[in-house]
Structure 1
């Protein structure tokens, strides 16, 4: 009986640690982390929406195209597993289920990757955000 109670306590502690590791990075209104890099984070309505779907070591597309200077709502959906994305050149991060409205003022290709260690194929989880 004592071993079962100890096991249940350890399991509960493990679940809480895993839950605390999730990303909850929701930026609003031109956050300092995005200042000066061609990205504006706003709470305003977007004219476009891009849903990035992540599953076992891949994204649903290799490239996602958006228009320069127009607000876009980025959303990350984890179809299987737990994933996050990071667009390093833009200081944009999303956790599973997160959305963020951003405006990218500089045309180009911006590579993003899964920023949560999700298994053996984690390093292959790379795609591009193409801004035209």
Structure 2
């Protein structure tokens, strides 16, 4: 009886671990028609670089064109920083460019999504899509 209970518990634990891994992968997807962002896999027509350093981004506002494939690169100049545009479900990692096409015009606030120190909460800027 104990052996059967141990096997059942092990199987339930394995299912939960696999489900958690699968859910995390799905949550990190950056391709979504409902958010107006597409990772096209095509060559970029435009490029922007967001530089992060000492609890701030190098510009308060970055502007890109609606519907234009744009390569966005995050350069972390003093350690680990990341960028999350919550409204677009878009995440950027340092030195890993992404080519995205944003189809919805508007202003989107973004923030550093890696706890980088005491000034972390002040690391915000805007992405304007015209």
Contact 1:68–1:131 (8 Å) recurs in 2: yes
Q: 1:113 to 1:99 in 2, by over 3 A?
A: same
* Structure 2 residue 82 is the aligned partner of structure 1 residue 81: no
Q: State which of 23, 41, 44 in structure 2 corresponds to 1:43.
A: 41
CA contact (8 A) 2:30 2:90 kept: no
Q: Kindly provide the CA deviation profile for residues 12-68 of structure 1, in whole angstroms up to 9, marking residues without a partner as x.
A: xxxxxxxxxxxxx9xxxxx57523211111110111101000001000000000001
Q: How does 1:50-69 map to 2 (within 5 A)?
A: 50-69=48-67
State the aligned residue count.
103
What RMSD in Å do the two structures reach over aligned CA positions?
A: 1.5
2:96 paired residue number:
98
Question: Is there any run of 5+ residues in structure 1 with no aligned partner, and where?
Answer: 1-24, 26-30
4+ residue runs of structure 1 moved beyond 3 angstroms?
Answer: none
| Structure 2 gap ranges (5+) | 1-24
Aligned mates of 1:32, 1:55 — CA distance in 2: 25
Query: In structure 2, how many angstroms separate the alpha carbons of the residues matched to 1:101 and 1:71?
Result: 6
Higher helix share: 2
Residue in structure 2 matched with residue 107 of structure 1 by the alignment = 105
- Structure 1, residues 70-108: CA drift from partner, whole Å, max 9, x if none? 010010000112100000000100111111000011100
